[in-house]
Structure 1
Amino acid sequence: MRQAFDFLLPDLTKSCNLFIFISMRLPDWIRTQCRADRHETKLILRKHGITTVCEEARCPNSWECFSKPTATFLILGPKCTRNCGFCSVSSSVPGPPDENEPDNVAHAAEEIGLKYVVITSVTRDDLPDGGAGHFARTISAVRRRLPAVRIEVLTPDFQGDFGALRTVLDAGPDVFNHNVETVERLYPIVRPQAVFRRSLSVLKHAKTTAPDTITKSGFMLGLGESQTEVLELLRELRAAGCDVVTIGQYLRPTRNNLPVVEYIHPDFFEYLRLKALEMGFSYVASGPLVRSSMNAAEMFGPAPGL
């Protein structure tokens, strides 16, 4: 029998707790339609031996992105040296980076016909530079093949190595993204091998080093955070020089991952979007199915000055 859900629609003009929807089942507003992917994007990715975070992280929007087509390239292999509670990417000892990967990504981006390329990676704490050089080579390879393309990178924290960070920024991405993922209090549970303050320092240093580069971050709701903590997180991101923020609902990818504590009503996501814009963010994507790299190019359209 389908479980009935009762929730109070919040009056956003009043001071109230907006974290009011708690359920163990997906509410209607975050259910996605299962559609067969008929686009050739997957075939092109397989042809060039490319991995995407869309598939590895079990993104609920992958069918939509592949059909547009868009894709977020996952470089440095499919195995991560960290074991975050929210992530379905395999955690184990990675192999050496594929020297042909930068050119393969560039070829795939050209063949798919991308005008906006997002490049991310697993965390590679085993590499001296955390994979920064590989990021830079991939950016350069894409630029050579697609000079007019816009490039966004979504990087790990490089263990706070600002030299590695500079290597990536010197390659000239249009957007530098590093996700904080959750509020500081939940880091020991959600991101046990990461440090909240270190992630903030990466964003701040990126803006200081490359002030003309758009800086971006994102986080999830539904892991047990409070409204006060979320608003404070937004303030800290803005203080670190973050231009763009994405906010989405955490969805448990496998039974081995952290359970969902709360399913947050769309009204609260809209409330956060408006609050973030008031704080000075240039562009805010906030909604249950928002993901860090989904529709990433849209910030260059409606957002003034970007």
Structure 2
Amino acid sequence: MVVKPDWLRVKAPQWERVGNVKEVLRDLGLNTVCEEASCPNIGECFNQGTATFLIMGPACTRACPYCDIDFEKKPQSLDPMEPINLGEAVRRMNLKHVVVTSVNRDDLPDGGASQFVRCIEEIRKLMPQTTIELLIPDLCANWEALETILSARPHVLNHNTETVPRLYRRVRPQGDYQRSLELLRRAREIAPWVYTKSGIMVGMSETDEEVREVMRDLRVVDCDIITIGQYLQPSAKHLTLHEFVTPEQFEAWRIAGEEMGFLQVVSSPLTRSSYHAEQVQALMKLYPKEM
């Protein structure tokens, strides 16, 4: 058994604030990846009044062994009220930056692209100044669906590569490393104004050089932002944790990423793809792109 080190201790949340956010989510019938994927930062983010919304779920059509989202339930038909309720939640929580992600919906012809678009439209109706970040699946290489999503003009388009190529068959058996890179390449080509972003987990036996190779691949497709965080095994039935990576190694990757030309590198044990995502607003002021 690998013992959790001190640097992975998370501060206890202020439950009054957490309760307020949960009340909004339950009242509007919304899911968050914070809860469904057992994110270790749930207390901090809920305390700050933020959450990463999980649409079209909570059931997922893929069975990634590292993920705590339920893949045994049968996916339901899309809820036409979900985008409206999401916009209302953003208004009630007064979010300046919102992250919207989804489960994989390989059962849908467009992978759920139209639902992403409706969510953006409803958020903008009530909160036109809020910056919007989407964390999308690979859409089974349906590039028309990608164009549909980008036509709604999100500010940030995130798609996680998740791990290094050597570990894909074990970590992400229904995914494809080159397909993920192609999605990010096409996003840059279709929408040069969007900030592209990707993230990987570490601690699953990847080497330092393999991580750096992924970083270089992401720069080849002109990815702007990268997040690197520690994989934490949700339960005994999930993918086995190989090691806890030291903060010093995360810092080395941060420095390497900046030298490679990423506009932003967020690399630490508790980093997740949407952790402190609102910091992109400062990035947008430093490196503006024409919308």
Aligning the two structures, in what range does the TM-score lie when normalised by the shorter sequence?
Answer: over 0.9
Given that 2:14 and 2:47 are in contact with CA atoms closer than 8 Å, whether structure 1 keeps it comes out as no
**What one-letter code is carried by the residue in structure 1 that aligns with 2:59?**
K
Q: 2:133 aligns with which of 129, 145, 152?
A: 152
1:28 lines up with 2:6 in the alignment = yes
* 1:259 positional shift: 1.3
1:305 lines up with 2:287 in the alignment = yes
Residue matched to 1:132: 113
- Residues 71-220 of structure 1 mapped to structure 2, 5 A cutoff: 71-92=51-72, 93-220=74-201
Deviations along 1:23-79, one digit per CA (max 9) or x if unpaired, are 701000012133342211110111000100000010010010011111100000100
**What one-letter code is carried by the residue in structure 2 that aligns with 1:48?**
L
For structure 1, the 5+ residue unaligned runs are 1-22
**What one-letter code is carried by the residue in structure 1 that aligns with 2:120?**
I
Distance 2:64 2:264 in 1: 27
**What one-letter code is carried by the residue in structure 2 that aligns with 1:264?**
V
Which structure has more helix as a fraction of its residues? 2
Please report the RMSD computed on the Cα atoms of aligned residues, expressed in angstroms: 1.1
Distance 1:101 1:300 in 2: 26
Distance 2:11 2:92 in 1: 28
Q: 1:278 aligns with which of 233, 250, 259?
A: 259
**What one-letter code is carried by the residue in structure 2 that aligns with 1:55?**
E
- Residues 291-300 or 81-90, more deviating: 291-300
Q: Secondary structure at the match of 2:196?
A: strand
Distance 2:111 2:257 in 1: 31
Given that 2:203 and 2:231 are in contact with CA atoms closer than 8 Å, whether structure 1 keeps it comes out as yes
**What one-letter code is carried by the residue in structure 1 that aligns with 2:132?**
I
Distance 2:205 2:14 in 1: 34
Distance 1:209 1:150 in 2: 20
Given that 2:162 and 2:200 are in contact with CA atoms closer than 8 Å, whether structure 1 keeps it comes out as yes
Question: How many residues are aligned here?
Answer: 284
Distance 2:268 2:283 in 1: 17
Q: Secondary structure at the match of 2:239?
A: coil
Q: Secondary structure at the match of 1:98?
A: coil
1:70 lines up with 2:50 in the alignment = yes
Distance 2:66 2:287 in 1: 34
Deviations along 1:148-188, one digit per CA (max 9) or x if unpaired, are 11000000000011100011100010000000000011010
Q: 1:54 aligns with which of 27, 34, 45?
A: 34
Distance 2:262 2:25 in 1: 34
Question: Which is higher, the Rg of structure 1 or of structure 2?
Answer: 1
Among all aligned residue pairs of Structure 1 and Structure 2, give the percentage whose two residues are the same amino acid. 46
Given that 2:11 and 2:44 are in contact with CA atoms closer than 8 Å, whether structure 1 keeps it comes out as no
For structure 2, the 5+ residue unaligned runs are none
Distance 1:262 1:273 in 2: 19
**What one-letter code is carried by the residue in structure 2 that aligns with 1:65?**
C
Distance 1:37 1:152 in 2: 27
The ranges of structure 1 where at least 4 consecutive aligned residues each deviate by more than 6 angstroms after the TM superposition are none
Given that 2:247 and 2:269 are in contact with CA atoms closer than 8 Å, whether structure 1 keeps it comes out as yes
Deviations along 1:91-119, one digit per CA (max 9) or x if unpaired, are 03201111100000000110011111100
